Amino acid sequence: MTRRFTDKDTYDFIINTLNKHGINEDIISIASRMDIDLARIFYEKILCVKQTATLSNNIDVITKTLLGIYGNYIATCYYKNLGYDVKNEYGVYQNGTLITRADIAFFNHDGELNFCEVKAASQIIDNIRNYNSKDEEKYNGKYYYDMDKDILKYKEIGSKLIKQVSKLIKTGKNVTVVIFDGCFMDDIIKDKLNKMGANIFKLAVNINDLEDQIYDMVFKVTEGLKSDDTFKNILGDK
């Protein structure tokens, strides 16, 4: 059980504010299984922050964090709707040793164990020269944008994906990489996944629209947290 980091009233206030603006218990539960404490994140990065610039940057950081959580949630719902008993953050063992955790695991209708690695990203690349410059259009001044940092981030996503899939494939189970509509995956990544024997499946949910929706939710949660007079007094008007 996660150790409470603040008093119960403040904790409940944060959770209720998240729920009010669409970050429901299912999302909070999946985040917890991913070892992400959303209440703590909003407390530390929103409630306890005074500087406007820092707050704006933190909203972007939380948006990215929630994007991954919502990605797993949407993929989980998809496979549940197909009738599968889905497990999240499923422990994968070899010779009795935990080697990794699969985002999603389920037995298909033939009784075969399937692993899914979910990537809620607008790009997944191997070579930095394959960066899709159209990606920067989505920012439109709403998000702080550092193109060089973004390029390296998408390359790192690709590198981590290949490493994770290689671990899952070694188990001999069926492995699927789940991405979203609007995600650009370069041919190098696709070829590596195909050679390993992994499937690539694209969900019909646009990743850029999803990120915008999450940003709006985080912004509204921020307004709700920072505008409450009671907690302004408790936190010293932070």
The DSSP secondary structure of 74-102, one letter per residue, reads: HHHHHHHHTT---EEEEEEEETTEEEEEE
Contact 169, 197 (CB under 8 A): yes
**Where residue 23 falls among pLDDT bands split at 50, 70, 90?**
very high
Contact 138, 206 (CB under 8 A): no
- Amino acid residing at 60: D
Question: According to the model, what pLDDT value does residue 238 have?
Answer: 44
Give residue 181's pLDDT.
98
Tokens, residue 192: 């590596």
Could you report the per-residue pLDDT of 134-163, keeping only the tens digit for each? 655 555 545 555 677 778 889 999 999 999
From CA 7, how far away is CA 73, in angstroms rounded? 29
The pLDDT value given to residue 151: 86
Half-sphere exposure (Cβ direction) of 169: Cα atoms closer than 13 Å: 16
Q: Give me the pLDDT at residue 22, please.
A: 93
Residue pair 226/139 in contact by the 8 Å Cβ criterion:
no
Alpha-helical segments (H) within 3-146: 8-20, 25-33, 38-42, 52-81
Q: Taking the CB of residue 152, how many other CB atoms lie within 10 A of it?
A: 13
Burial grade of 28 (CB within 10 A; 0-12, 13-18, 19 or more) = middle
Q: What pLDDT does residue 230 have? A: 54
- How much is the pTM? 0.88
pLDDT attached to residue 159: 97
The span from the CA of 221 to the CA of 117, in Å, is 29
Stretch 185-190: mean pLDDT: 96
Which residues touch 57 (CB under 8 Å, ≥6 apart)? Answer: 144
Check residue 125 and give left, alpha or beta (phi > 0: left; psi -120 to 50: alpha): beta
**Is residue 41's pLDDT more than 60?**
yes
Q: What average pLDDT does the segment 117-141 reach? A: 79
Q: Across residues 88-93, what is the average pLDDT?
A: 96
